[in-house]
A and B are shown apart, each in its own frame.
Chain A
């Protein structure tokens, strides 16, 4: 956007075209940026496996967050509102992660097997986190440790899954 007009050597048609090209490139960039974080269609099982690994990582992060929050609450280090908030976020993250992953079409049979394996971890994780959220909202602090009992094992399995398919 300078004050100086275009190069004198250009024919009148060129600058317009150049401007249009520039606009197209800009628009393309904008779209790319906007979609940079989104999930696209998956064509190869390698890509599917890496998406599965990332999903396991994200679910593991939610499980570990909940686990840490419950530990802190049990030790009297977290007040109930902070706990409820943290657990609600963890539960909703786990649900989102699972929904996003389930929406991806597995490209082949092998990927379908992988999906089954991961789903067997995601479903109990999401449901345990939902249970925790409900217990925390009701102020049922005493019940939390028992509801949270399966979390460490789930977290470990999710981590193993992530490392195996990275």
Chain B
């Protein structure tokens, strides 16, 4: 029998882990594609992650505002959306393991930007 899972219960808001073991954000949304364009059962084609995606999901003004502020602070001028094609997913469990590295995601650009800033502080590259 084919296995089933409930998207909101078991995929949404789960932790993403890049192939190096680095945490890579959360599953902020799923992209569903209608194959025939004719109300055929859609397929899960990608995992979407990043503050911009999160903001789109929140239905209160305060929530959207918070997420937008986060997005702007972390990578001004960037879209902050990462689309991970579903064939790049290696395993789904309590967290979701990807075949790509965390740094390759577009939403990781925020991390890189902040990283350059933080990297200027003495001792940033040393283990504590």
A and B touch in the complex (CB under 8 A): yes
* Minimum CB–CB distance for A20 against chain B, Å: 12
* Minimum CB–CB distance for B111 against chain A, Å: 26
Interface residues on A, range: under 10
> B58 — which chain A residues lie within 8 A by C-beta?
1, 3
The 8 A CB mask of A1-30 against B (1 = contact, 0 = none) is 111110000000000000000000000000
In the complex, the chain A residue whose C-beta lies closest to that of B60 is A1
Q: Does B120 contact A (CB under 8 A)?
A: no
> A5 — which chain B residues lie within 8 A by C-beta?
59
* Minimum CB–CB distance for A10 against chain B, Å: 14
Taken together as a complex, chains A and B put the C-alpha atoms of A31 and B63 apart, in Å, by 22
* Minimum CB–CB distance for B28 against chain A, Å: 12
Interface residues on B, range: under 10
Contacts of B16-63 to chain A: CB distance below 8 A: 57-60, 62-63
Taken together as a complex, chains A and B put the C-alpha atoms of A4 and B60 apart, in Å, by 10
Interchain CB contact under 8 A, B57 and A1: no
Interchain CB contact under 8 A, B62 and A3: no
> A1 — which chain B residues lie within 8 A by C-beta?
58-60, 62-63
In the complex, the chain B residue whose C-beta lies closest to that of A4 is B59
Taken together as a complex, chains A and B put the C-alpha atoms of A10 and B57 apart, in Å, by 21
Taken together as a complex, chains A and B put the C-alpha atoms of A45 and B60 apart, in Å, by 48
The 8 A CB mask of B59-93 against A (1 = contact, 0 = none) is 11011000000000000000000000000000000
In the complex, the chain A residue whose C-beta lies closest to that of B57 is A3
* Minimum CB–CB distance for A30 against chain B, Å: 14
* Minimum CB–CB distance for B30 against chain A, Å: 13
> B62 — which chain A residues lie within 8 A by C-beta?
1
> B63 — which chain A residues lie within 8 A by C-beta?
1
> A3 — which chain B residues lie within 8 A by C-beta?
57-59
Taken together as a complex, chains A and B put the C-alpha atoms of A121 and B117 apart, in Å, by 60
Taken together as a complex, chains A and B put the C-alpha atoms of A92 and B50 apart, in Å, by 52
A-B contact pairs, 11 of them (CB 8 A): A1-B58, A1-B59, A1-B60, A1-B62, A1-B63, A2-B59, A3-B57, A3-B58, A3-B59, A4-B59, A5-B59
What 9 additional pairs, Cβ within 8 angstroms, besides A2-B59, A4-B59?
A1-B58, A1-B59, A1-B60, A1-B62, A1-B63, A3-B57, A3-B58, A3-B59, A5-B59
